Amino acid sequence: MSTLPSEILEVRAADERRRLLSSVVELKSKVREKLDVKRTARRYMPYASGAAALLGLLMGYGVAGIFTRH
């Protein structure tokens, strides 16, 4: 029997381990990037500020409407 098939299998297994390791490293970096609170807050701050301002304006108008007579 030749040892060639087992050597080929070892090489394939080593290649697969390297690909798996690179996939895990890439996944870790993507998860770390998505869960970065500072970056996410900085990205959505204008939208959150606008929504808070609009909500405050509507609430103020509603409360003022309760206490004024027409």
Run of H or E including 54: helix 37-67
For residues 2 and 29, membership in a common domain is answered with yes
The pLDDT of residue 53: 97
- Whether 40 maps to a domain, the answer reads no
Torsion of the alpha carbons at 49, 51, 53 and 59, rounded to the nearest 10: -150
Per-residue model confidence as pLDDT tens digits over 10-65:
999 999 999 999 999 999 999 999 999 999 899 999 999 999 999 999 999 999 98
For residues 2 and 28, membership in a common domain is answered with yes
pTM (global) more than 0.75? no
For residues 54 and 30, membership in a common domain is answered with no
- Whether 6 maps to a domain, the answer reads yes
For residues 31 and 49, membership in a common domain is answered with no
For residues 30 and 49, membership in a common domain is answered with no
The pLDDT of residue 28: 97
The number of distinct structural domains making up the chain is 2
Q: Which domain holds residue 50?
A: 45-70
In this prediction, residue 70 has a pLDDT band, given cuts at 50, 70 and 90, of low
